[in-house]
Amino acid sequence: MDTLPKHSSATPDPGRWTALAVLCVAFFMVCLDGQIVLLALPSIEAQLGFSPAAVQWVMSAYMLALGGLLLLGGRVSDLWGRRRLFMAGTGVFLLASLACGLAGDPGFLIGARIVQGVAAAVMTPSALSLLMTSFEGAERNRALGIWSAMGAGGATAALLVGGPLADWLGWRWVFFINVPVCALILLLSPFTLRESRDSGVRGGFDFGGAVTITAALVAFVLAITEVPSLGWTHPQTLGLVAATLALLVVFVLIERRVSKPLVPLSIFRSRSFVGGNLTMLLAGALVFGMALLVSLYAQKVLGYSPLVVGLGTMIYAILSIVSSTLTGRWVGRTGARAVAVIAMLLMGGGCALFTSIVPEGSYLTHLLPGLIAFGPGIGMAAVAGSVAALSQVKEADAGLASGINSAVFQIGGALGVAITATVAASQTGGSDTLSALTAGYVAGFWACVILAGSGALVALLLVPRERMSAPVPVQVGA
């Protein structure tokens, strides 16, 4: 492959901040689409004839494809070109969004959402690895902070935008809104993004490894997605978990034997890489689990409308955006360990405050304090986890590492929802009285406190203390 000279911190890419803007808009959109349909589900159910049990697949189908294929998408982008895969994923995302908006029956919509998730699984690690190969040192930490802020902003905008769009223009516009955004990204990408790939790999692709790890991730995400409705001991859940473990064993055996593995197992020898990703896994579980419990309590117990819930919870997302932007600078001076520990303590403290909720509670007394405590922890955990996991990887593995880092957060989110939902349900005794529901949500918040404590312990034991700003060697292609 013809390559341009490598740029270094002495001669940085002059267009790197413009490139970051394009990449962050794409990430914002991917995060937006994970949640934007939440408030539109009642309209979709009524118009397309979904059953109450099946309509949740409008969300689950997207998350299943995204979580299951992120690792594969990241590795393919390393080999075939990160800008090329990013643009291809964006084009497919545009077409899938258009198809979702035009869907006339449940099967077609779920199929289109799966394709959307596949496209997002290509876009996200490609975009993150382009960021990693465009910035070095302290600038990379700041760029990761901005990236994390855009992710939090997308999740927030989903709650604020989804409701009004569904109410005023119809549910189809929660998908149509992606079309002009994707078109703009495709227009700007050739002029703002520099192609890069792992030029050291020639030919060959680990097909067996790709199939087994993707199947393992899909099986696991499917298992935990269905836990709230089936339970942890249901034969389907146990069967999918057993299949996941078996596929992982086969995957490891394949990776040890092939000459060009999809995932070099040596990458897991890095304590920083493992610690950063475990931090992201637990952060994802806390964010999604907390958001579910707060939304259910606010709507089912306090009686707030979806739009009011979105506006009321905006405070924690704003704080997460601010904290992630500031943490990008802070983590370069103090190291990721201290930031990760403080982040977990903040999120755990916020969840502990939520355990004071009562049936006759109020937003100001029983929700706002916890949201204020929890919010900064999100941004801090996202930046610390990303910096720890990604800053020390080789350029050849940037897409792979980015895919893993993105996948563990999504899988953690699904795991957090499964844990909190089942813990809450186990405490209600089948009753839907306000006192029973509140008791269930309190138990769910205590489960989040335990998760946060586990995250702080992981950070103390596995995330390195030292600063992590060593540059990743960059190979830039035409």
Instruction: Please give the pLDDT value at position 7.
Output: 41
**Is 90 exceeded by the pLDDT of residue 464?**
no
Instruction: Please give the pLDDT value at position 442.
Output: 95
Digit-coded pLDDT (tens) for 157-203: 776 777 677 778 888 998 999 999 999 999 999 999 988 776 555 45
Concatenated DSSP letters for 248-288?
HHHHHHHHHH-SS-SS-GGGGG-HHHHHHHHHHHHHHHHHH
Strand segments (E) across 285-414: none
Instruction: Please give the pLDDT value at position 335.
Output: 83
Instruction: Please give the pLDDT value at position 200.
Output: 55
CA 312, CA 310: separation in Å to the nearest integer? 6
Q: How many residues does the chain have?
A: 478
Q: Which of 148-152, 223-227, 295-299, 353-357 has the lowest mean pLDDT?
A: 148-152
Instruction: Please give the pLDDT value at position 152.
Output: 65
CA 304, CA 124: separation in Å to the nearest integer? 34
Percent of all residues in the chain with a pLDDT value above 90, rounded to a whole number: 35
Give SS3 for 60: helix
Phi and psi at residue 231, in whole multiples of 5°? Answer: 100, 160
Digit-coded pLDDT (tens) for 19-61: 999 999 998 888 888 777 766 777 788 889 887 557 767 877 8
Query: Confidence class of residue 227 from pLDDT cuts 50, 70 and 90?
Result: confident
The neighbouring-strand residues paired with 476 are 196
Q: Which of 4-18, 222-236, 237-251, 286-300 has the lowest mean pLDDT?
A: 4-18
* Closest residue by Cα to residue 426 from 440, 437, 414, 438: 440
Instruction: Please give the pLDDT value at position 373.
Output: 96
DSSP H or E segment with residue 455 = helix 434-462
**Residue 117: exposed, middle, or buried by beta-carbon count in 10 A (0-12, 13-18, 19+)?**
buried
Percent of all residues in the chain with a pLDDT value above 70, rounded to a whole number: 88
Q: Which residue has the tokens 């990760």?
A: 340
Query: Confidence class of residue 3 from pLDDT cuts 50, 70 and 90?
Result: very low
Q: Mean pLDDT over residues 50-74, rounded?
A: 75
CA 409, CA 390: separation in Å to the nearest integer? 14
Q: What is the average pLDDT value for the chain, to the nearest integer?
A: 83
Pick the more confident residue, 116 or 392.
116
Digit-coded pLDDT (tens) for 308-340: 877 888 888 889 888 887 887 788 778 889 999
Q: Mean pLDDT over residues 449-461, rounded?
A: 94
Instruction: Please give the pLDDT value at position 246.
Output: 96
CA 85, CA 125: separation in Å to the nearest integer? 10
DSSP H or E segment with residue 477 = strand 476-477
Instruction: Please give the pLDDT value at position 314.
Output: 81
Pick the more confident residue, 416 or 88.
88
Q: Which of 151-160, 354-363, 374-383 has the lowest mean pLDDT?
A: 151-160
**Is 70 exceeded by the pLDDT of residue 237?**
yes
Pick the more confident residue, 343 or 6.
343
Instruction: Please give the pLDDT value at position 473.
Output: 30
**Residue 182: exposed, middle, or buried by beta-carbon count in 10 A (0-12, 13-18, 19+)?**
buried
Digit-coded pLDDT (tens) for 107-165: 999 999 999 999 998 998 889 888 877 887 778 878 877 887 777 667 667 767 776 77
